[in-house]
């Protein structure tokens, strides 16, 4: 590939969402070689008017790609959380699956009623998709769900820390049961609510579990309690968008719209309700965590607590709506994610610590849960 291949990146690399996307674009470019990036947000395109662009990765929140690029027939892919454009292939997250993941996480964390925090009726397709996925899982599991909102009051006004607003929230939340698992669209909505809970004397996660549909790791870890996020697979969006742009630059065809599956939920303190309402089940889970490197099978676990394997399985299904094996698999993968975030642990060490005989076993289990290999997961952190 020619060294003169110039790719314009029309998005803000300072934003966390786009930093993840940039990582994916860079990973694909490295696999090809010869890509030179120009950042529009760092150097306006007017500085490069004489440049012949080979392709454009356009990241927008609105619905429109760059019309000047379309007029010049410059291959372009659009990264958008709004709606796809008929003249430009669009890449985004599968937000319906984001909603499903959030509902599953809250239910499996022990919340028996759920709430969605759009603070307004869905106005974008992604908002509707997120709500549809959330509702789908709640209804499948037989778990009641609510949409939190204040009719007649704007979203921004809802989140002001005024005496009048605190009174409104106190009234609204008093109508709902506790503990309640709440899923917010983004940190703009979740952060004020996180603070409101403290002002109202509510406990997170004891009274209300709170999670957000994104994962700005530094910000979410800095909160107290730290906030659970959803990894929307920004890296995967960037990689697939760059791959598609390459195809277009070579004269090929790509799909008009591609929804990239999210990776999974990053569990933090804000949703770590005591997972089990049954002390017996909680004790078994504690033993699972203690024996992570040398896991016990179902009969061995049951024998440790003087019950039959059938009784143990029944207690788990009644309390957590899942069999012991499924719960243990989640505990192992959660631990693997934590260890993979620290470069000091090799893949082999992670495998051994999580009770896998070989790295290949960890890779299969990890990919089944997240859609990515442990190495790919580590690259995008």
Residues 192 and 214: their CA atoms lie apart, in Å, by 15
Partners of residue 91 on adjacent β-strands: 79, 258
For residue 296, give the DSSP letter: -
Query: 123: pLDDT confidence band, cut at 50, 70 and 90?
Result: low
Q: CB-based contacts of 233: which residues, under 8 Å, 6+ apart?
A: 93, 260, 261, 262, 263, 371
For residue 45, give the DSSP letter: G
Rounded mean pLDDT of the chain?
82
Classify domain 5-93+234-262 at the CATH superfamily level: Response regulator (3.40.50.2300)
Contact by Cβ (8 Å): 117, 182: yes
The pLDDT assigned to 61 comes to 42
Residue predicted with more confidence, 303 or 40: 303
Residue predicted with more confidence, 76 or 2: 76
Q: Does residue 54 surpass a pLDDT of 50?
A: yes
- Mind listing the pLDDT tens digit for each residue in 237-296? 999 999 998 898 888 999 988 999 888 888 888 998 766 668 888 888 888 888 888 888
- Mind listing the pLDDT tens digit for each residue in 359-375? 899 998 888 877 778 88
Start-end ranges of CATH 3.40.50.2300 in the chain? 5-93+234-262, 95-231+266-271
Q: Does residue 138 surpass a pLDDT of 90?
A: yes
Instruction: Point out the least confidently predicted range of 6-10, 209-213, 292-296.
Output: 6-10
**What average pLDDT does the segment 128-157 reach?**
84
Instruction: Point out the least confidently predicted range of 21-35, 185-199, 207-221.
Output: 185-199
Neighbour-count burial of 14, counting CB atoms closer than 10 A to its CB (0-12 exposed, 13-18 middle, 19+ buried): exposed
The pLDDT assigned to 375 comes to 85
Beta strands at 228-231 and 208-212: parallel, antiparallel or unpaired: parallel
Q: For the packed helices 324-340 and 359-370, what is the interaxial angle rounded to 10 degrees? A: 100
Residues 303 and 357: their CA atoms lie apart, in Å, by 23
Q: Does residue 128 surpass a pLDDT of 60?
A: yes
328, 302, 300: which is closest to 313 by C-alpha? 302
Q: Does residue 135 surpass a pLDDT of 90?
A: yes
Q: CB-based contacts of 242: which residues, under 8 Å, 6+ apart?
A: 24, 25, 28, 29, 57
For residue 88, give the DSSP letter: B
Which of 139-148, 150-159, 197-206, 274-283 has the highest mean predicted lDDT (pLDDT)? 139-148
The pLDDT assigned to 62 comes to 46
Residue predicted with more confidence, 38 or 358: 358
Domain 95-231+266-271 is found in CATH 3.40.50.2300: yes
Residue predicted with more confidence, 328 or 45: 328
Rg of the chain on CA atoms, in Å:
23
Residues 336 and 353: their CA atoms lie apart, in Å, by 8
**What average pLDDT does the segment 329-338 reach?**
84
Count the neighbouring beta carbons within 10 Å of the beta carbon of residue 193. 20
The pLDDT assigned to 2 comes to 45
The pLDDT assigned to 1 comes to 38
Percent of the chain exceeding pLDDT 70 equals: 85
Start-end ranges of CATH 1.10.10.60 in the chain? 279-379
Query: 119: pLDDT confidence band, cut at 50, 70 and 90?
Result: low
Beta strands at 208-212 and 180-184: parallel, antiparallel or unpaired: parallel
Question: What CATH number belongs to 279-379?
Answer: 1.10.10.60
Tokens representing 95 are: 């937000």
DSSP string, 47-71: GGTT---SEEEEEESSS---HHHHH
- Mind listing the pLDDT tens digit for each residue in 32-49? 888 887 777 666 555 545
Contact by Cβ (8 Å): 54, 8: no
Percent of the chain exceeding pLDDT 90 equals: 19
**Cα distances (angstroms) measured from residue 172 to each of 19, 44, 121, 176, 201:** 37, 47, 17, 7, 15
Residues 275 and 256: their CA atoms lie apart, in Å, by 42
Residues 322 and 327: their CA atoms lie apart, in Å, by 7
31, 15, 17, 12: which is closest to 242 by C-alpha? 31
Q: Does residue 60 surpass a pLDDT of 70?
A: no
């Amino acid at each position: 590939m020619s060294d003169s291949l110039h790719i314009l990146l029309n998005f803000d690399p300072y934003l966390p969402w786009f930093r993840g996307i940039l990582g994916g674009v860079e990973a694909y470019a490295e696999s090809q070689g010869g890509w030179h990036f120009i950042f529009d947000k760092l150097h306006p395109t007017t500085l490069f008017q004489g440049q012949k662009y080979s392709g454009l990765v356009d990241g927008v929140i609105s619905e429109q790609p760059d019309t000047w690029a379309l007029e010049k027939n410059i291959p372009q892919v659009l990264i958008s959380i709004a709606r796809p454009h008929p003249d430009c292939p669009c890449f985004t997250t599968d937000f319906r699956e984001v909603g499903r993941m959030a509902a599953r996480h809250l239910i499996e964390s022990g919340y028996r009623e759920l709430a969605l925090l759009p603070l307004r009726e869905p106005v974008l397709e992604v908002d509707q998709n997120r709500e549809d996925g959330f509702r789908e899982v709640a209804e499948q599991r037989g778990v009641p769900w609510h949409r939190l909102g204040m009719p007649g009051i704007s979203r921004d006004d809802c989140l002001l820390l005024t005496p009048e607003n605190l009174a409104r929230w106190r009234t609204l939340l008093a109508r709902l049961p506790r503990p309640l698992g709440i899923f917010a669209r983004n940190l703009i909505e979740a952060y004020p609510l996180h603070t409101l809970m403290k002002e109202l004397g509510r406990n997170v996660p004891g009274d209300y579990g709170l999670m957000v549909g994104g994962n700005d790791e530094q910000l979410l870890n800095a909160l107290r309690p730290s906030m659970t996020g959803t990894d929307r697979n920004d890296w995967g969006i960037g990689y697939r968008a760059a791959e598609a742009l390459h195809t277009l630059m070579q004269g090929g065809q790509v799909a008009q719209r591609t929804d990239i599956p999210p990776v999974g939920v990053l569990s933090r303190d804000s949703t770590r309700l005591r997972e089990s309402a049954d002390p017996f089940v909680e004790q078994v889970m504690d033993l699972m965590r203690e024996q992570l490197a040398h896991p016990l099978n179902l009969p061995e676990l049951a024998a440790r607590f003087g019950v039959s394997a059938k009784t143990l399985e029944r207690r788990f299904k009644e309390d957590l709506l899942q069999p012991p094996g499924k719960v243990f698999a989640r505990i192992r993968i959660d631990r693997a994610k934590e260890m993979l975030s620290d470069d000091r642990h090799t893949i082999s060490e992670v495998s051994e610590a999580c009770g896998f005989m070989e790295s290949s076993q960890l890779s299969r289990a990890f990919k089944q849960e997240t859609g990515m290999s442990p190495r790919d997961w580590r690259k995008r952190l």
